[in-house]
Structure 1
Amino acid sequence: MFDRYTESARRTLFFARYAVSQLGTASIGTEHVLIGLLRDARKQSIVARILARFQISPVDLRRDLEMRFAGGKKIDTSVEVPFGADTKDALRFAADEADSLHHDYIGTEHLLLGLLRAEGSVAASILSERGLRLDDVRTIIVTLLAEPPPEPEAPSRAELIHHIEEIARLVRQLARAPAGSAQADPLTDRIESHLAALRQHLIG
């Protein structure tokens, strides 16, 4: 299902799952995918550049959402959590948007469009409240993709340390997991996600 996803899009879903573990809900909702998008929205990323057109700070909005949806019991990240119905719709819409734009990949810009198309979802309502409209965002994406790509932003020392510390912690958990345990695959996936993020930071 995720073969066409870019590294950034995959990180977004990883961050969405992490948000669920911190906020404590039974499924991955569109609000968690939005939090994941915002967490991955570095200064020069296409989502950050889209939001800048609406005078929205990804960091400020993410913090607002994390405070708004906080209060649930934390869930261990090794526990499998399903996508909610609205999220499944949003992911399907994201693929449709990529196809309609004749893109052979699904990136964070398509995920944003998918969230906007999931009418009635939490994320669509949040984005609509802040002035984002599907047709406007689609036009902005086409415009931005036609422009020369911006110079890549150098990763902060804190970001690199975060990924390294998370990899070390997950490796320790993996070492303690019983042989053949169901915990091994999710831990391995999360290690690979952090390694992919490090590769993008260090190699591009």
Structure 2
Amino acid sequence: MFERFAKDAREAVVLAQQEARELGHDEIGPEHVLLGLLRVGAGPAAEALRAHDVDLDDLRARLRSPAEDAALDPEALAAIGIDLDRVREAADAAFGPDALRRGLVRRRRGHIPFTKPAKKALELSLRHALRLKHNHIGTGHILLGVLHDSGNSACHLLWQAGIDLGELRADVTRRITAEAA
């Protein structure tokens, strides 16, 4: 199936793996695929997501692990005289943006497997491409695959961010068909 993926669609999948790794997650879910689509930055998926005010940093913050939050409990640190915001600022100044968080997440090497919902979203991207009579799978098709099952983690994340999934589906479909015309 991946042989039908356009270059930017393949890049989105690679970036999804990178997002899962950077967040310290053991599997690639639809939410990571969504982040990968945003990171590609161009094409119908990224354009539609930006048009609906979907923000990469906001989605990442919503995905932060509870273990990470527990490790950096601001109230507990304040009780012993440590200002977490100042520590973050100093770490960012010395080691680059988000250095403290990056230092806390586990770095998994090698292959990270896809969850069943992520695999299903990628399979559905092929179905959407065929339905639209396209001979390739682009980022827009992947986004439609991700949005197909409104019960998956990516859709839940978008819903939490206040995104109307029906409007987003319609918008990306318009963009894909306009691009193919």
Q: TM-score, normalised by structure 1?
A: 0.60
Distance apart, 1:28 and its partner CA? 1.1
| Correspondence list, 1:46-61, <5 A | 46-57=44-55, 59-61=56-58
Distance apart, 1:67 and its partner CA? 4.2
**Separation of aligned partners in 2, 1:27 and 1:85:** 10
Contact 1:23 1:69 in 2 (8 A): no
Find the partner of 2:164 among 108, 132, 151. 132
Q: 1:117 to 1:26 in 2, by over 3 A?
A: same
Distance apart, 1:24 and its partner CA? 2.1
Distance apart, 1:139 and its partner CA? 2.9
- Unaligned segments of structure 1, at least 5 residues: 150-204
**Separation of aligned partners in 1, 2:129 and 2:158:** 20
**Separation of aligned partners in 2, 1:28 and 1:99:** 25
Higher helix share: 2
Q: 1:28 to 1:70 in 2, by over 3 A?
A: farther
Task: Between the two structures, name the one with larger relative contact order (CA 8 Å, sep ≥ 6).
Answer: 2
- Unaligned segments of structure 2, at least 5 residues: 69-104
Find the partner of 1:73 among 100, 106, 109. 106
Residue 96 (structure 2) aligns with: none
**Separation of aligned partners in 1, 2:119 and 2:156:** 17
Q: CA RMSD in A?
A: 2.5
Is the counterpart of residue 83 in structure 1 residue 114 in structure 2?
yes
**Separation of aligned partners in 2, 1:12 and 1:74:** 20
Distance apart, 1:146 and its partner CA? 5.2
Residue 99 (structure 2) aligns with: none
Residue 7 (structure 1) aligns with: 7
Q: TM-score, normalised by structure 2?
A: 0.67
Secondary structure (helix, strand or coil) at the match of 1:55 reads: coil
Contact 1:20 1:75 in 2 (8 A): no
Contact 2:125 2:144 in 1 (8 A): yes
Of the two, which has the highest radius of gyration? 2
Q: 1:21 to 1:138 in 2, by over 3 A?
A: closer
**Separation of aligned partners in 1, 2:66 and 2:14:** 18
| Correspondence list, 1:1-204, <5 A | 1-42=1-42, 45-57=43-55, 59-65=56-62, 67=64, 71=68, 72-76=105-109, 79-129=110-160, 130-134=162-166, 136-145=167-176, 147=178
Distance apart, 1:89 and its partner CA? 1.0
User: What is the count of residue pairs matched by the alignment?
Assistant: 143
Percent of aligned positions that are identical: 30
Q: 1:17 to 1:100 in 2, by over 3 A?
A: same
Residue 194 (structure 1) aligns with: none
Contact 1:6 1:105 in 2 (8 A): yes
